Amino acid sequence: MTHMKNLIKLISCIFAIMVLFSCNKTKNYKELIIGKWQIDSLFSYYKGEERMFKPGNDEHLIIGTWYNPRFWEFNKYNEKKDFRLNYKEGKSIFSYEIIGDTIIFSNSQLNNKSKWAIVNLTDTNLVLESNATYVQGDSKTINRFYFTKRNKLSNDKLIIGNWKIKNIFSCMYEYDKFGNPELTDTSSMKDISINYIFTNDNYKMINTGKTYLNQSYKISEDSLITKGYPFFIQKLNEKEFILSVDGTESAFGKNSSTILITKIVGEKIK
């Protein structure tokens, strides 16, 4: 009898530890997931076929493109926003709840609820996986999303200096009647004589020795804000920056069905 009581106590202790561990993990996940996450890639398994998708030139409704990526943003109010740089596509908002290693998304208006497994979640990386088995043919489908966290710039003073523009890539696309983007044109400019010179609060654009822009700017989180429009800072370090901008309104007007996204790559020369 004594042995049985001890065994019951041991099992109770193990169960209590497991519950405590699960609660702590849930708490950590709730804190770590807050912020903006950029989709790096998507692994898909369907009907026995494995595929890996990464943002490229061609439009992908789920992961976006390298010049107009897709983001998931989680806030402290248990909301998940799904959006692109392009304002015309808007944002979709879902409620979320984290229980252990599972995150549950729901949208009351769409009467939609889905469960995802948290495969990995750290300060910088997030991996979520969804599994589904469909009745027709018992086909199993797995989707695994890989994200990188878009943290605030650790040092926004890195922008100060003289930057040689290496490449300007522009892409135009239009939405069809179903709201799906269709790529219509791309262009790329290399070996161009353009420099951006940034000081503490001012920047100039110089082309073949002539100054075409001379105005103030500020950096807010991951955006470089000028008088014209905000640039999204995709990359900024001691040697290189990559800026993306939605130039639709300035090029075609507010109600245009044509979308223009431009990506600028610069190399610091001093």
Range of the domain at 182: 156-268
Same domain, 142 and 32: yes
Q: What is the pLDDT of residues 51-101, one digit of tens each?
A: 999 887 777 778 887 777 888 999 999 999 888 765 445 567 899 999 999
Neighbouring C-alpha atoms within 13 Å toward the C-beta of 12: 6
Same domain, 84 and 186: no
Confidence grade of residue 17 (pLDDT, cut at 50, 70, 90): very low
Same domain, 92 and 178: no
Same domain, 33 and 109: yes
What ranges in the chain are assigned the alpha helix state H?
Answer: 2-32, 248-252
CATH at 203:
2.40.128
- Domain boundary, last residue among 149, 169, 196: 149
Q: How many domains does the chain have?
A: 2
Q: Does residue 65 contact residue 71 with C-beta atoms inside 8 Å?
A: no
When mean pLDDT is compared over 104-108, 170-174, 257-261, the highest value belongs to 104-108
Q: What is the pLDDT of residues 25-42, one digit of tens each?
A: 556 899 999 998 999 999
- Domain boundary, last residue among 124, 149, 174: 149
Question: What average pLDDT score do residues 211-216 get?
Answer: 86
Q: Please list, in sequence order, all residues whose beta carbon lies within 8 angstroms of the beta carbon of residue 84, skipping any fewer than 6 positions away.
A: 64, 68, 69, 70, 71
Same domain, 119 and 173: no
CATH at 123:
2.40.128.20
CA distance 261 to 251: 10
Same domain, 145 and 45: yes
Same domain, 118 and 171: no
Domain contains 6: no
